[in-house]
Amino acid sequence: MSVTQQQVLDSLAKVMSPRGVALTNANVLSAITVTDGKVFFSINVDAAEARAWESVRAQAENAVRAIPGVSVAMIALTAERKAGAAAPPPRSAGGVAPASTHRHPPQGGAGSPMARQAEIPGISAVIAVASGKGGVGKSTTALNLALGLRDLGLRVGLLDADIYGPSVPRLTGIREKPQLNDDKKMIPLNRFGLAIMSIGFLVEEDTAMIWRGPMVMSAITQMLRDVAWGTLDVLVVDMPPGTGDAQLTLAQNVPLKGAVIISTPQDLSLIDARRGLAMFKKVNVPVLGIVENMSYFQCPHCGTRSDIFGHGGARHEAERLGVPFLGEIPLHIAIRTSSDSGNPVVESEPDGPHAAIYREIGAKVRQQLQGVIAAA
Ligand code: ADP
C-alpha cells in the first residue's frame, strides 16, 4: 500500500515542538513530498532556535520512518538568520547544520575550524570537484577522476551533490534506487567498482530542481552521513556549480581535504574559476589544483589538435595564483558520447589516451592526499 501525505501528517502530529504544540501546529513545515515511499520536507525555523529543533527533526524522521512502506525519510532543518541577530553556535558532528540564506559567510565565521563538520568514519579523504559555473564538464571530470583514482588502486566513492541538476544517474546509467541496511542507512549503488550516491537516485530531476537553498546543505549532509559508505580512501563530491551561498556553506560544512577546480580555457570561465578558488580559500579548504577541460579540440578522425579556445588559460591562471595545475583534457567526441551513454571513457576505453589523462590527474591528486590516505 502506498504511503499517503495524511499518514505522514498523522505521525508528525504526535511529535511535540519546542514551542509546546504539535509539530503540525507549529507553522514550520514546508510542503511534504511523498513519492514511492520516499518522504521529503523541511522544518523551517529561526537560526537562533535551530539547536532546540534538531532533536525534533530527528524525532520527526524516526516517526516518518516508522510508517509502514516508508523507505526513505529525508527531513531537513532549515534555519534563517534574522537581520541583525547574532549567529547561532556551530553544531556538533552529525545531523543537519542550519544554513543561512543571507549574503555572508555561514555561522561560526568563514574558515573557523569550529564551524567545520566532523570527519566521516571510514572515509580518509573527502574532496570536492567544483566549477565556477555549469556546463564546463565538472560532472564528467568528477566521475572520470574517480575512476582514475580507482585505477590507482584506491577505494573510491562518488557523491553527486549537484542537487540542482544531478547528472550522475545519466553518466553512470544507474536506474536502481538505493536499498536500506539494517541500520536504516542507504546503501550506495556500486558501479564500475565505485560506491555511488546521488539525490537523482531518490527523486525525479524536476523535484530536485525546486529544492530551496537552505535545504541543499541539509540534504547533502544526510547523503554524506546517512549512507553506509563503508571504507573509502577517497570520496569525490561533485559539487553544485557556482560560488553562491549554498556552495560556500557546503564548502565549509563538508569535511573537505581539498578541492579540484574545473575550468575551460575561456576568459569568462577562468573568472568564475577564480571565484571558486577564492571561495575555498575563504573556508580554508586547500585547492588541490585546476583542471582545464575542453582544453583543445581533438579531431576524432585524424587526431589533429586545434587550440580553438586559446588553450592554456587555466595553466597560466594556476601559475599566477600559485596553485597546482593538474592537467588538460581535450574536447573530444568520445568523452561526450561515452559519458552521455552511461559508460565513462576511463571505463569504456581504459587503454585510450583520455583514460591516461584522467589517471595522471588522479595521480597528482593522490600525491597531494598522500599523508591523509596513508595515515588511514
Ligand atoms: P557540468 O557538470 O559542468 O555541468 P557536464 O559534465 O554535465 O558539465 O558536461 C556538459 C556536457 O559536456 C556533457 O554533454 C558532457 O558529455 C560534455 N563534455 C564534458 N567534458 C567534455 C570533453 N572533455 N569533451 C567532450 N565533451 C565533454
pLDDT tens track of the chain, all 376 residues? 689 999 999 999 999 998 889 999 988 888 788 888 888 888 888 777 777 888 898 899 999 999 999 988 888 777 665 443 333 333 333 333 333 333 333 333 333 333 345 788 899 999 999 998 888 999 999 999 999 999 999 999 999 998 778 899 999 999 888 888 988 888 999 999 999 999 888 776 565 555 666 677 777 878 888 899 999 999 999 998 988 877 888 888 888 999 999 998 877 677 888 888 899 998 899 999 999 998 777 777 887 877 776 767 788 888 888 899 999 999 899 999 998 899 999 999 999 999 999 999 999 999 999 888 876 5
CATH 3.40.50.300, the chain: domain bounds = 123-375
Q: What is the C-alpha to C-alpha distance for residues 319 and 175, in angstroms, rounded to an integer?
A: 42
Query: Which region holds residue 322: left if phi is over 0, alpha if psi is between -120 and 50, else beta?
Result: left
Instruction: Please tell me the class of the 123-375 domain.
Output: alpha beta
Q: Is 354 in the pocket of ligand 1 (CB under 6 A)?
A: no
Predicted confidence at residue 189, as pLDDT, reads 96
Residue intervals of the chain classified under CATH 3.30.300.130 are 1-81
* Ligand 1: centre distance to CA 300 (Å): 16
**The three three-digit cell numbers of residue 371, written as one number:** 599523508
Query: Is pTM, for the whole model, over 0.85?
Result: no
Fold for domain 1-81?
GMP Synthetase; Chain A, domain 3 (3.30.300)
Q: Residue 327 has what pLDDT?
A: 94
Q: Do the Cβ atoms of 257 and 372 come closer than 8 Å?
A: yes
Task: Output the CA 268–ligand 1 centroid distance in Å.
Answer: 17
Give the model's pLDDT for residue 152: 96
Pocket test for ligand 1, best of 243, 247, 263, 336 (most atoms within 8 A of CB): 336
CA distances from residue 18 to 21, 25, 41, 130, 325 in whole angstroms, order as listed? 8, 12, 19, 38, 51
Q: Would the CB of 335 count as within 6 Å of ligand 1?
A: yes
* Pair 90, 105: CB distance under 8 Å: no
What does DSSP assign to residue 14?
T
Distance, in Å, from the CA atom of 335 to the CA atom of 357, rounded to the nearest integer, reads 12
